[in-house]
């Protein structure tokens, strides 16, 4: 998984799997979902990310059972 933020375009890209994209779905005018042939999420793109998310407060935590 890889998360990238492009400051020049204010775009957040969250890549879940490095697989060929079979379909791109517009969730709304600023959010794009890419899925593979099995319907698994490959990536989510969020435009105007600084207005729609809390980019500076990003954190990651893995919790084991």
- pLDDT value at position 33? 98
Residue 52: pLDDT band by 50, 70, 90 thresholds? very high
User: Residues 13-51: pLDDT tens digits?
Assistant: 999 999 999 999 999 999 999 999 999 999 999 999 999
Residue 56 has pLDDT above 80, yes or no: no
- pLDDT value at position 61? 87
- pLDDT value at position 34? 98
Give residues with Cβ within 8 angstroms of 39, minimum separation 6. Answer: none
This prediction has a pTM of: 0.86
Q: Domain locations in the chain?
A: 2-50
Q: Do the beta carbons of residue 44 and residue 33 sit within 8 Å? A: yes
């Amino acid at each position: 998984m890889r998360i990238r933020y492009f400051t020049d375009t204010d775009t957040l890209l969250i890549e879940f799997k490095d697989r060929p994209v079979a379909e791109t779905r517009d969730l709304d005018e600023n959010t794009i979902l890419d899925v593979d042939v099995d319907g698994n999420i490959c990536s989510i793109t969020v435009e105007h990310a600084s207005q729609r998310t809390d980019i500076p407060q990003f954190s990651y935590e893995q919790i084991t059972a």
